[in-house]
Amino acid sequence: MSERVEISLACTECETRNYKTTRKKEHEGQITLKKHCPRCNRHTVHKETK
Ligand SMILES: [Zn+2]
């Protein structure tokens, strides 16, 4: 069984935390995803934050 941890995804441009998700604890490196940011009003890269 793999433990999962809750993380937030923050826009790398305005640093607003827009999304929450979970990932496997043993995953290496930080997750980056392209998602819509309501503050920037367009798709931006979102990075994992604690
Ligand atoms: Zn943004």
Question: Ligand 1 center to residue 34 CA distance, Å?
Answer: 11
Question: Ligand 1 center to residue 22 CA distance, Å?
Answer: 20
| Beta-bridge partner residues of 23 | 5
Measured between alpha carbons, how far is 12 from 8 in angstroms, rounded to an integer? 12
Question: Ligand 1 center to residue 44 CA distance, Å?
Answer: 7
Q: Architecture of 4-49 per CATH? A: Single Sheet (2.20)
Written as tens digits, the pLDDT of the chain (50 aa) is: 678 889 999 999 999 999 999 988 876 788 899 999 999 999 999 999 97
Measured between alpha carbons, how far is 17 from 39 in angstroms, rounded to an integer? 10
Question: Ligand 1 center to residue 41 CA distance, Å?
Answer: 7
Q: How do the domains of the chain map onto residue ranges?
A: 4-49
Say if pTM beats, i.e. exceeds, 0.75.
yes
